[in-house]
Amino acid sequence: RHPENLLRAGKSAVSFLAPALYLVGGILLLAADPAGLVWIAVGAIAAIVAALFVSWVVLVEVLR
């Protein structure tokens, strides 16, 4: 396995995490479960972390 393939899989997983958390939160809210708000808050934090991660990767790629 090439190391770049592992990095690509990691980038994809990080990018997929926040929308998945939003989806879980939305489904819970539709089911009238107040825990959905917690899932949406965690999704927002995950989106910020994912944006920082992706911007860091882009910065490193540009500087190469």
Q: What is the pLDDT of residues 11-34, one digit of tens each?
A: 777 788 899 999 999 999 999 999
DSSP symbols for 4-57: HHHHHHHHHHHHHHHHHHHHHHHHHHHTT-THHHHHHHHHHHHHHHHHHHHHHH
Question: Which residues, 6+ apart, have CB-to-CB distance to 42 below 8 Å?
Answer: 21, 25
What does pTM read for this prediction? 0.74
3-state secondary structure of 1: coil
- Name which residue leads in pLDDT, 51 or 57: 51
Q: For the chain, what are the domain ranges?
A: 3-63
- Rounded CA gap, 38 and 44, in Å? 10
